[in-house]
Amino acid sequence: MAMTATAGHAHADPHHIGVVIEHPGPASKRIVTAYGFWIFLLSDIVMFSCFFAAYAVLSGQTAGGPKGSEIFEQRNVAIETVCLLLSSFTCGMASIAADVRNRFWFYLGMTVTCVLGLIFLVIEFREFADLVARGYGPSRSAFLTAFFSLVGCHGLHVSAGVLWLLTMMAQVFAKGFRADVLRRIMCFALFWHALDIVWVGVFSVVYLLGSAA
Amino acid sequence: MSDQSHAPTDHDLAPGEEEQHSVGTRILGYVVGLALALLLTATSFFIAGTDLVWQPSIPVALIVLAIAQMGVHLVFFLHITTGPDNTNNVLALAFGLLVVFLVVGGTVWIMAHLNANMPPMDQIMRMQ
Amino acid sequence: MLGKLDWSAIPFDQPIPLIAGAVVLVAILAVLTWVVVKGHLPYLWSEWITSVDHKRIGVMYILLASVMLLRGGSDAIMMRIQQAVAYQSQGYLPPEHYNQIFSAHGTIMIFFVAMPFVIGLMNLIVPLQLGVRDVAFPTLNSVGFWLTATGALLVNLSLVVGEFARTGWLAFPPLSELSYSPGVGVDYYAWSLQISGVGTLVAGINLVTTVLKLRTKGMNYLRMPMFCWTTLASNLLIVAAFPILTATLAMLLLDRYLGFHFFTNEAGGNVMMFMNLIWAWGHPEVYILVLPAFGIFSEVVSTFSGKALFGYRSMVLATMAICVISFMVWLHHFFTMGAGPDVNAIFGIASMIIAIPTGVKIYNWLFTMYGGRIRFATPMLWSVGFMVTFIVGGLTGVLLAVPPADFMLHNSMFLVAHFHNVIIGGVLFGAFAGFEYWFPKAFGFRLDERWGKLAFWFTFLGFFITFVPLYIAGMLGMTRRMQHYDVAAWRPWMIVAAIGMAVLTIGVICQIVQIVVSIRNREALRDRTGDPWDGRSLEWATSSPPPVFNFAFNPDVRGEDAYWDMKARAQQQSLERDRPEYQDIEMPRNSPTGFVCAFFATIMGFALIWHIWWMVILGGLGAWATFVVFAWRDHDEYVIPAEEVAAIDRVNLEERRDLVSMAGTV
Ligand code: HEM
Ligand SMILES: [Cu+2]
């Protein structure tokens, strides 16, 4: 890395104050890709924040329908949460495996991640189906509207994640750990971890606060 | 724009990328992260259901725990640390968080005032 | 099978849209036939449609914006005529038609004129100014453009198949809810914005990443040209604000399609939440549009004054300050809707504060001009015209930001005049300045100055003749969006405004003539050196038009005004001789991904609007499959051999050497 400083200065200036660090030039593709995806994730989180805000505003508007504490089942949520946390872990294992080009552990990690994601989705789907069957669908009240949208939006993201995950497995199968494949795996991992962060918000704000209230 | 054409000198880190560590260290990082996350989750669930703490403190505690857990995820899973190489990633995160904070906080604040001054139609009906 | 779609969707009883639609259709078919017959199709396909070259994509964005400007402009003419004649009468446009026109006008002008214009200019110029070979994600860039085009296509389709929204450009509920707008108009509106919104988000991510991660050697943050800074700020705002629009429109669509209750009057829904969320996007949006324009003016003013930008650092600071503060003022759009004094006061003050960095910029431009050797070429005319116009618009904005005043002026013609004043005088003038300034860079020849100046003067005068009367009508109590009215005092002003519109139209025609004349005289107007204006930043350091790879060598930047600096150094040491060895250059290969993806998006959007569910699934699968196919390809780059690079570069160097020996000193 080039440092330009007036020569005399450099010594009298051990902390490099007043030193202009020359920009070294364009970053590598890996960094560029991941950074772009990072920016995308931030924008996705802003989108989630709108649904959170809507939930905060509408959560009291039950219009004579059920309140959160009447319909939330903590046990299910706990299982869902554990699934997602474990899947984040296994996803991390899969990325390490990809980095050291170990196919076996990569497939294993991704498969477990996928299964955990699917379990999460099944539980969520059954919760939704059950609510709708009891007449507590999203059209029942503004509260349920906000609840279904926020949780469902996260669920849709997880579904998209599962689709992506399977595509990535197929791609490693077909193409091996090519540089571009590795970059995509890195983005996928970021995506999956970010969804977990959103879920932390969901279970805290929606389920736990909702049943505490 | 190929990888080769760029000098390997730049000390940038991609988001989610760790500084060079051995596999063992990296796995350990995830294990610690998972343990912390599970611990915080368990605490949240426990607090939400318990009668042992002062009830009004529960929402605050839940929020604090949630933020802490998000922090754990960011550090151990997404590897967003505050090292000098990560400034750009963290700055982007800070901007994102600022916007999230403004949008959610602003919405809640504004809507509370609007609801107080000019309640939605069906609330007016109920008041009458 | 076809959902809600049947023959009644075609408005056989309404001649205006039908004829307009038919004319456009014929025009498109004629162009297509011409392209096919002349054998241009392969060229068009391989050099433009599938191109991932940021310059080409930028040009296509600008072309889209220009075409849509004509469409939106026709709407404007129709509205001005209607209001000029509809005094104590129905005028010639029935209410439901008039409502569609003002809704389409606003939607088109913001989303399909202003946005693509500024995004196109950023795409075209920013990589050049940063001294790099392409944007961060070339293929996604193309996807973004084609998705924007999809949105524009859907909006225009509504002219002949079905109808457009009658709800204004922001589709406020409860009017936009299913119970009050049962037709497909709002669905056209919402889905075109959702689809083009994805395109905009992609462009935003791409440009943020480009500026932050792809700069040539030595291009430190504080050496970037001002336009790169405003690009950064504007695209950060895109990334942060467009998801809010997406979420809000998604909520509206859920209400309409699945009976949700976000914004309904029943079951606890809350209309004001739409207001709140849409403006949380809407105010940042106006700065998304105007910040790039500020960047353009900075470049133009400093080039044509022959001086470095005055107060560069304060300009950077002001830009970033606007970027953040623009997220703190959105309530000023609904002061009158019950927020109460404390909330109103805080947002009012915040809105006034945002005028401060804007003012800083104005002073910086003025001081840049002060003592400079000013050349009043067309881009400079637009810039000076902007300064005059925008000050008025900004001041009326500050006036509106005073809550008690806003209670008088909200939703009046005064407001209409305000935002046209800032958007035309700021964004459009900026876009035109950028267009005139960078046209030689994009195409290799200058635009005709005489017609350019005529265009400026007609537009400038036409603007004031049109919009000053609207300020006055607003003060006389006229509200916006009136299909007809009975107040005699407003009438004369509406007539003057219609005359102004005619003058504005002449300005637009001059601009078209200017392009035609310049194309005819292109040999005389040829820019051989690549530096027609004696420019200061790196886009002028390469030929016009630049080769695909932009620069044979990634330039090495040593300070602000990189190219100016190079010219000065080159002159002192005649440095240009000792060039290092040319090397092979790898460039991304073209890809039809964007086009194909947009094709499926169009199908999906259309199917969603008309509730044709099987087609929705088809479109969705198609779009996914497109990306998988893209991800599966094995070679995403091709190599330009060193000899070819050398051959291309030497031609330009020869031309430039003469220039270099003269310039660089003032
Ligand atoms: C100097 C800073 C500015 C201030 C203080 C300001 C203030 C305002 C206020 C208070 C309103 C709402 C008035 C009402 O609805 O009663 C408004 C509306 C508007 N402003 Fe500005 N403004 C400023 C600059 C801009 C700029 C730079 C643009 C665009 C480039 C812009 C575009 C708009 C638009 C589009 C609307 C109205 C949209 C609608 O209601 O349909 N403003 N402005
Ligand atoms: Cu505003």
> Per the omega criterion (within 30 degrees of 0), is the bond before C545 cis?
yes
Q: Using CA atoms of C248, C250, C255, C261 in order, give the dihedral in degrees to the nearest 10.
A: -50
- The DSSP string of C613-637 is HHHHHHHHHHHHHHHHHHHH-S--E
Among B47-51, B78-82, B107-111, C263-267, the range scoring the smallest mean pLDDT is B78-82
Q: What is the average pLDDT across C210-230?
A: 89
Residues B93 and B80 sit within 8 Å (Cβ to Cβ): yes
8 Å CB contact of A22 and C209: no
Q: Which atom of ligand 1 is least distant from the CA of C110?
A: 35
Q: Give the mean pLDDT of C288-311.
A: 92
Pick the closest to residue C513 from C449, C440, C439 (CA basis): C449
Least confident range from A36-40, B24-28, C48-52, C115-119: namely B24-28
pLDDT greater than 60 at residue C466: yes
Note the ligand closest to the C-alpha atom of C334.
1
Task: State percent of chain A over pLDDT 90.
Answer: 47
Q: Is C12 exposed, middle or buried (0-12, 13-18, 19+ CB in 10 A)?
A: exposed
Instruction: Say what the pLDDT of residue C660 is.
Output: 60
pLDDT score of C128:
92
A20 has which bridge partners?
A: A4
pLDDT surpassing 60 at residue B57: yes
Q: Which comes out higher in pLDDT, residue C31 or B127?
A: C31
Residue nearest to ligand 1 atom 6, measured at CA: C397
Among candidates C213, C277, C343 on the partner chain, residue whose Cβ is nearest the Cβ of B113? C343
Which residues have C-beta atoms less than 6 Å from ligand 1?
Answer: C 286, 289-290, 332-333, 351, 354-355, 358, 394, 397-398, 400-401, 406, 409-411, 415, 418-419, 422-423, 426-427
Tell me the two tokens of residue C229.
């800074």
ipTM over 0.85: yes
- Give strand pairing partners of C587: C638
Residue-level pLDDT at B5: 35
Name the least confident of C106-110, C495-499, C575-579: C575-579
How would residue B2 be classed by pLDDT, with cut points 50, 70 and 90? very low
User: Are the CB atoms for C337 and C272 separated by under 8 Å?
Assistant: yes
**Strands C585-588 and C637-640, sheet pairing:** antiparallel
A159-165: long-range contacts at Cβ-Cβ below 8 A with a sequence spacing of 24 or more? A159/A121, A161/A117, A161/A188, A161/A191, A161/A192, A161/A195, A162/A114, A162/A117, A162/A118, A162/A121, A163/C624, A164/A188, A164/A191, A165/A110, A165/A113, A165/A114, A165/A117, A165/A192
Interface contact A3, partner B, CB < 8 A: no
Nearest to C137 by CA among C553, C620, C626, C591: C591
CA C520 to chain CA centroid, Å, is: 27
Q: Which ligand is in closest contact with the Cα of C404?
A: 1
pLDDT band, residue A3 (cuts 50/70/90): very low
pLDDT at C62: 94
Q: How confident is the model at residue A4 (pLDDT cuts 50, 70, 90)?
A: very low
Q: For residue C386, is pLDDT > 90?
A: yes
Residues with CB under 5 A from ligand 2 (ion): C 283
The tokens describing C445, both together, are: 């020849």
Q: Would the pLDDT of A120 be above 70?
A: yes
Across residues C203-213, what is the average pLDDT?
Answer: 93
Please give the residue that has the higher pLDDT: either A16 or A57: A57
Spatial contact of C97 and C185, defined as CB atoms under 8 Å apart: no
Q: Does B89 touch chain A (CB under 8 A)?
A: yes
For residue C358, what are the CA distances in angstroms to C151, C229, C241, C266, C319? 32, 15, 20, 43, 8
What the block records as the tokens of C271 is 């209309």
DSSP state of C136: S
Question: Higher model confidence: residue B84 or residue A128?
Answer: A128
The CATH superfamily assigned to C285-526 is: Cytochrome c oxidase-like, subunit I domain (1.20.210.10)
User: What pLDDT is stored for residue A17 in this prediction?
Assistant: 56
Instruction: Give the global pTM.
Output: 0.90
The pLDDT tens digits of the residues spanning A12-43 come to: 445 555 566 777 888 888 888 888 999 999 99
Length of chain B: 128
In this structure, what are the phi and psi dihedrals at residue C630, rounded to the nearest 5 degrees? Answer: -60, -45
Q: What is the pLDDT of residue A5?
A: 35
Among residues A45, A75, A204, the alpha carbon closest in space to that of B60 is found at: A204
**pLDDT tens per residue across span C611-633:** 889 989 999 999 889 888 888 88
List the single range of A179-188, A192-201, C22-31 with lowest mean pLDDT: C22-31
Beta strand C585-588 with A20-21 is: unpaired
pLDDT tens digits, residue range C232-252?
999 999 999 999 999 999 999
> Do the Cβ atoms of C183 and C100 come closer than 8 Å?
no
Give me the pLDDT at residue A210, please: 78
The share of chain C scoring above pLDDT 90, in percent, equals: 47
How many whole angstroms from C64 Cα to the centroid of ligand 2? 26
Mark A67-91 as b/e (b = at least 16 C-beta within 10 Å). Answer: ebeebbeeeebbebbbbbbbbbbbb
Reported as a single tens digit per residue, the pLDDT across C522-577 is 888 888 888 888 888 888 888 888 888 888 888 888 777 777 777 777 655 544 55
Please name the chains neighbouring B, where neighbouring means 3+ C-beta pairs under 8 angstroms: A, C
Q: What is the pLDDT of residue C279?
A: 94
Can you list the domains of chain A with their CATH numbers?
Answer: 27-212 (1.20.120.80)
Relative to the CA of C290, which ligand 1 atom is closest? Answer: 30
Average pLDDT over all residues of chain C: 88
Ramachandran sector of residue A23 (left: φ over 0; alpha: ψ -120 to 50; beta: rest): beta
- Return the structure tokens found at C610: 């008309």
- A42 contacts B107? CB cut-off 8 A: no
Tell me which chain B residues have a C-beta less than 8 angstroms from the C-beta of C270: 111, 115, 120
Intervals of CATH 1.20.210.10 along chain C: 285-526
What mean pLDDT comes out for the span A69-89? 88
B87 pLDDT more than 80: no
| Closest CB to B114 among C266, C277, C338 | C338
Q: How confident is the model at residue A9 (pLDDT cuts 50, 70, 90)?
A: very low
Is residue C197 within 8 Å of residue C238, measured between CB atoms?
no
Q: Which sign does the torsion angle of CA B1, B4, B6, B8 carry?
A: positive
What contacts C139, CB < 8 A, 6 or more positions away? C52, C588, C591, C593, C594, C630
Q: How far is the CA of C418 from the centre of ligand 1 (A)?
A: 7
- For atom 34 of ligand 1, the residue with the nearest CA is C419
Counting ligands in written order, which one lies closest to the CA of residue C401? Answer: 1
- Where does residue C168 rank: exposed (0-12), middle (13-18), buried (19+ CB within 10 A)? middle
Helical segments of C86-137, H only: 95-107, 115-130
Tens digits of residue pLDDT in C154-172:
998 888 888 888 888 998 9
